Amino acid sequence: MAATPALKFVRSVWTSFLESSGLEPRLLQNLKLTHAEPGKVSFELAVEKQHTNRLGILHGGTIASMVDLGGSLAVASKGLYSTGVSTDINVTYLASGGPVGNKVRAEVTCDKFGKTLAFTSVKFWNEKDEVFARGSHTKYVKLAWEDKNNIVGQLSPEFVKK
């Protein structure tokens, strides 16, 4: 199955994070993007030792980092290459993501996408198919609209229908 234009673009933004950021290449380098369409991104991560706390289960900080990254990738799925800066991140922990070897899945949506702010939300599932965490991430995107690598028009519903 061929990758959608949104998935190709989000993967290019993810590659940029891996090449340019300090945190994501160290913590989330094995995160796998599984789906993207305008306004929605899905990914999965196999839990490794570096993702765990001293109890040997998925660390809350790793989950918070995935909320941060996921919000950025959801913004990218709307066509912004520069994904703005965080103004607010919230995480609610409901259950365990599991120990090393477990695979966690996430689905992120861009709930509102404006000229100044973008609001995203994420749900995480563990191997028992339980929602174990949920989060929200608000991004200031006003300056991101100026990036020459943006493809917002190409991912708009009007363009995709052509």
Complete DSSP assignment for the chain: -PPPHHHHHHHHHHHHHHHH-SSHHHHSTT-EEEEEETTEEEEEEE--GGGB-TTSBB-HHHHHHHHHHHHHHHHHTTT-SS--EEEEEEEEE-S---BTT-EEEEEEEEEEE-SSEEEEEEEEE-TTS-EEEEEEEEEE-TGGGG-TT--HHHHSHHHHH-
User: At residue 46, does pLDDT exceed 50?
Assistant: yes
Percent of the chain whose predicted confidence (pLDDT) is above 70: 95
User: At residue 37, does pLDDT exceed 80?
Assistant: yes
pLDDT computed for residue 151 by the predictor: 93
Which pLDDT tens digit goes with each residue over 102-148?
999 999 999 999 999 999 999 999 999 999 999 999 999 999 999 99
pLDDT computed for residue 112 by the predictor: 96
The domains found in the chain, sorted by start residue, are 5-155 (3.10.129.10)
Which pLDDT tens digit goes with each residue over 64-92?
999 999 999 999 999 999 999 999 999 99
pLDDT computed for residue 1 by the predictor: 61
Asked if residues 118 and 139 have their Cβ atoms less than 8 Å apart, the reply is yes
Q: Taking the mean position of all CA atoms in its chain, how far away is CA 117?
A: 16
Whole-number Å distance between alpha carbons of 10 and 80: 9
